[in-house]
């Protein structure tokens, strides 16, 4: 007997997470290209994590199986935790350094070669110390941190709703 796909659980939370992540990347790109707030490798790594969370959530929302949504929520949660770690590292460690050269963020970005494929989006253009700026009195990396925390909470809510 073949299992039938179900629409158990709403796709809405995953779509909201995806839209929020894409809006964050859009805001980062506007900050870079309109207001000359150039990104460091840790900033760009966080952009990449937001994009991957969005893709995972949209894929999970598009699939009819509740298990696919749960899988997407688990992946989104793990990625959000990685984003939290990246934002905290950027604020407390990398921003105190004059150079981000050869850090984990730069190694990941250079190995993926996204900086050459999509330089306007994924090319780091500043040192971590230079990229440490505030938006409305709050460090930019804390805005990113807050959204990663909200993504993690949203993913957990998707997983709990499945029970």
DSSP conformation letters of the chain = -PPPP---S-SHHHHHHHHHHHHHHHHHHHHHHHH-----HHHHHHHHHHHHHHHHHHHHHHSS-HHHHHHHHHHHHHHHHHHHHHHHHHHHTGGGSS--TT-HHHHHHHHHTHHHHSHHHH---S-TTTT--EETTEEHHHHHHHHHHHHHHHHHHHHHHT-
> How many domains would you assign to the chain?
1
Q: Which range of residues forms the domain containing residue 60? A: 12-161
pLDDT for the residue numbered 133: 76
User: Would you give the end-to-end CA distance of the chain in angstroms?
Assistant: 24
Mean pLDDT of 27-54: 93
Q: Is 4 inside any structural domain? A: no
In a domain, 61, yes or no: yes
| Cβ contact 80:149 at 8 Å | yes
pLDDT band, residue 101 (cuts 50/70/90): low
Residue 28's CB: how many other CB atoms inside 10 A?
21
How far apart, in Å, are the Cα atoms of 135 and each of 4, 74, 129, 141, 144?
Answer: 49, 31, 15, 10, 11
The reported pTM is 0.88
145 located within any domain: yes
With cut-offs at 50, 70 and 90, classify the pLDDT of residue 77.
very high
- Report the C-alpha gap between 7 and 46 in whole angstroms: 32
**CATH code, domain carrying 82:** 1.20.1550.10
The reply to whether 60 falls in a domain is yes
The answer to the question of residue 31 being in a domain is yes
**pLDDT exceeds 90 at position 5:** no
Q: Does the residue 6 lie in any domain?
A: no
Q: Quick check: is 49 in a domain?
A: yes
User: Span 113-142, mean pLDDT?
Assistant: 82
Q: Six-digit token pair at 60?
A: 């999970």
Residue with structure tokens 């793990």? 78
In this model, does residue 114 exceed pLDDT 90? no
- Average confidence score pLDDT of the chain: 87
Q: Is residue 1 part of a domain?
A: no
């Amino acid at each position: 007997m073949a299992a039938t796909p179900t629409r158990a659980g709403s796709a809405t939370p995953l779509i909201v997470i995806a839209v929020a992540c894409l809006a964050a990347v859009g805001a980062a790109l506007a900050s870079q290209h309109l207001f000359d707030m150039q990104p460091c490798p840790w900033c760009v790594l966080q952009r990449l994590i937001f994009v991957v969370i969005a893709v995972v959530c949209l894929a999970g929302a598009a699939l009819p199986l509740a298990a696919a949504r749960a899988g997407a929520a688990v992946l989104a949660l793990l990625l959000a935790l990685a984003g939290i770690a990246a934002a905290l590292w950027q604020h407390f460690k990398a921003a105190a350094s004059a150079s981000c050269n050869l850090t984990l963020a730069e190694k990941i970005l250079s190995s993926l070669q996204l900086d050459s494929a999509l330089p306007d989006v994924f090319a780091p253009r500043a040192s971590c110390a230079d990229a440490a700026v505030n938006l409305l009195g709050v460090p930019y990396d804390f805005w990113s941190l807050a959204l990663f925390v909200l993504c993690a909470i949203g993913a957990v809510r998707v997983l709990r709703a499945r029970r």
